[in-house]
A and B are shown apart, each in its own frame.
Chain A
Amino acid sequence: MLSAQELRLGYGDKVIVPQLSLDLEMSRIHCLIGPNGCGKSTLLRALAGLLRPQQGRVLLDGRAVDRWRRRELAQRLSMLPQHPSAPEGLTVEQLVRYGRFPHQRLFGQLGEQDRKVVRWAIRVTGLAGYEARPLAALSGGERQRAWIALSLAQQASILILDEPTTYLDLGHQLEVLELLEALNREQGLTVIMSLHDLNQAARYGHHLVAMRSGRLERAGAPGEVLTETLLAEVFRVRARVLDDAGTGKPQFMPLSSVTGPLL
């Protein structure tokens, strides 16, 4: 269980998330939704132990994440930031090899097991044959998958992703989401990600967390969260939620913005 307890998050004087508590079960896909600037990225960074809470704490297995040794935490939890950057000329394989760092000894030599994991990570992300390509020569979708391969090579059981589908075309978006879904189903990977597309969140997420201006608006199964009222209140969208035919995965059709044109 990864749980946030009465977190206050911010940078210096600027408080982004005033108070938030949240429990995230293992081996589920959790989707964070909310308008731009509502604190999704900040919350994700705190969950990954990258941002020290001003108050409260994030507990993983009952221990605060900033009490974990960084390397032990890295064997348990991985995160892909929104805009990762690599040194010029880095190839796919070189990138993915970095994922073995938390499992390596002092001098950073890759063992047979490490190489096997690297090959596996490259294969499941559909990048076999691309090992020697520099990241800069890849398409957006391929590059995103290369970074996901890095996280997978880390073999952590929790993967946090900050808007993994941004800037990808629809086909690549679905590829990434299907990959995460398959990893969740087959390996029990816990996925915690922020998504912009609400229908995708409802379709792939087991558990939705809706945020607005740093506050937790509602959390629960997609059917409980994605309602016409919530869409109007949180996203200022008039929408019709379509019958989910008992799947618990509602889809919705946006009709108009709540405010309408200001012209």
Chain B
Amino acid sequence: MRAMLVSARPSTPRQARTLAFQRWCWPAALLLMLVLAAVSNLLFGAATLSPQRVWLALTGSGDAVAQDIVWNLRLPRLLVGALIGLHFAIAGSLLQAVMRNPLADAGILGINSGASLAAVLAFAVAERLTGDGNPYLSGVLDLRWLPLVACGGGMVAAALVYRLSWNGGVTPVRLVLCGIAVASILGALVTGVLAGWAQVNTETVLVWLAGSLFGRDWEHLLTLLPWTLAALALLPALLAGANLLQLGDEVAAILGLRVELWRFGLLLVAALFAASAVGVVGPVGFVGLIVAHIARLTAGPDLRQQLLLSPMYGVLLVTASDLLGRLLLIPAEIPIGVVTSLLGVPFFIYLLARKR
């Protein structure tokens, strides 16, 4: 697809068609797939609802069971999924552009692990404070704190990775290697905390750690939404600089960019996107990796155009994966984090193999 999109000669009808495809047809097709995925998410599940029942429920009439399923289970879950798809997608696109590395991703750079560790620690501390019982129910750990705590963890991890890879400057390769190392260590610490400290609700935490949309409702959506809006508000001012980093450190510096400052700042913004999502649904890996890659293939080298498409891919991937996870083993569910990992690991290996 890439070759088809970029190798057209200028000013030919073929190129005009290619451009039209790139600008309009493909996003339109994507939008259609998004609608399809969204509708399927509302229709299918442990109980299949007819389109008619879903429509009636959505419009506020219809039977109570359908209303309950649509309004309290499937719709909020769909929307939370869409939101985290957007978060991980933007984080992934930013990271890949800024690191000039198609292997960069919030998971690989240790951001997700940092966010997880902070959240698990908060959970364990809250559990200690309550003595026993679910810290959510006892009110010690408010859900709204989790994105904040996770963001703190994710940003500290990002800063740590940056600091470790600093050697008079930071090269993208060293950053990725340090990220993988830090991610493994933090992951081990999460397991350690779970084994040694938390007792009662280990199972709840384990489900969360697999990255799950199970039981995500309006409260989760409203918890995450301010973070989405805040992070999106930061984005436009950063795009020109982030775009420039793709030309390499030297050229970017020559064109007037303070490269290290920008790279660090963008790393933190990407951490903000990814970690706040982790706080709500747990570490869902590989979404950014897959989505950013496909966005680059279809949108071309301009980061601004990639960022128009990648959130759509992100939403599509997350909602489709969640649907898959819900349908494969009815009545049991496969957490979405597991599904995306199953998709993402082969993709990662494919990318590695292609890089020789």
Contact = CB atoms under 8 A, between A and B. Distances in A.
Interface of A: 12, 45, 48-50, 70-75, 77-79, 81, 84-90, 94, 98-99, 101-102, 104, 106-108, 129-134, 136-137, 150, 154
B6 A89 contact: yes
B256 A102 contact: yes
B240 A108 contact: yes
A107 B234 CA distance: 11
B301 A94 contact: yes
A199 B240 CA distance: 42
Contact of B246 (A87, A99, A130): A87
Contact of B10 (A84, A88, A131, A150): A131
B132 to A, nearest CB: 52
Interface string B232-271: 0000110110011011101101111110000000000000
A130 B10 contact: yes
Given A77-B254, A102-B255, 20 more contacts: A49-B253, A50-B253, A50-B254, A70-B256, A74-B254, A74-B256, A84-B248, A85-B248, A87-B247, A88-B301, A90-B300, A98-B243, A98-B255, A101-B244, A101-B257, A107-B239, A108-B239, A108-B243, A129-B10, A131-B10
B302 interface: yes
B256 A89 contact: no
B52 interface: no
A89 B15 contact: no
Given A107-B240, A130-B10, A133-B10, A86 B256 contact: no
A84 B251 contact: yes
Nearest to B245: A87
B11 interface: yes
Nearest to B102: A88
Interface string B1-20: 01001111111000100000
Interface centre among B9, B239, B255 (most CB of A within 10 A): B255
Tell me the dominant secondary structure on chain A's binding face: loop
A86 B255 contact: no
A108 B237 CA distance: 8
Q: 6 tightest CB-CB pairs across the interface, nearest first?
A: A108-B240, A74-B256, A132-B10, A102-B256, A71-B256, A87-B301
B10 A50 contact: no
Contact of A73 (B100, B236, B256, B300): B256
Contacts, number: 94
Contacts of B250: 45, 50, 79, 81, 84
26 contacts: A70-B257, A74-B254, A74-B256, A79-B250, A81-B248, A81-B251, A85-B247, A87-B97, A87-B246, A87-B301, A88-B6, A88-B296, A89-B2, A89-B5, A89-B301, A94-B301, A98-B251, A101-B256, A107-B240, A132-B8, A132-B9, A132-B10, A133-B9, A134-B7, A154-B254, A154-B255
A132 B11 contact: yes
Contacts of B240: 101, 104, 106-108
B9 A90 contact: no
A165 B258 CA distance: 29
B333 to A, nearest CB: 39
Nearest to A75: B256
Contacts of B100: 87
B241 to A, nearest CB: 8
B254 A78 contact: yes
Nearest to A99: B255
Contacts of A89: 2, 5-6, 300-301
Contacts of A71: 256
Contacts of A99: 255
B20 to A, nearest CB: 14
A106 B11 CA distance: 32
Contacts of A78: 254
A70 B300 CA distance: 28
* Residue with the highest number of chain A CB atoms closer than 10 Å, among B168, B236, B247, B256: B256
B70 to A, nearest CB: 40
Contacts of B254: 48, 50, 74, 77-79, 81, 154
A88 B102 CA distance: 12
Contacts of A49: 253
Contacts of B256: 70-75, 101-102
Contacts of A104: 240
Contacts of B301: 86-90, 94
B82 to A, nearest CB: 27
Given A94-B302, A104-B240, A132 B15 contact: yes
Interface in B80-123: 97, 100
Contacts of B6: 88-89, 134, 136
Contact of B237 (A48, A73, A98, A106): A106
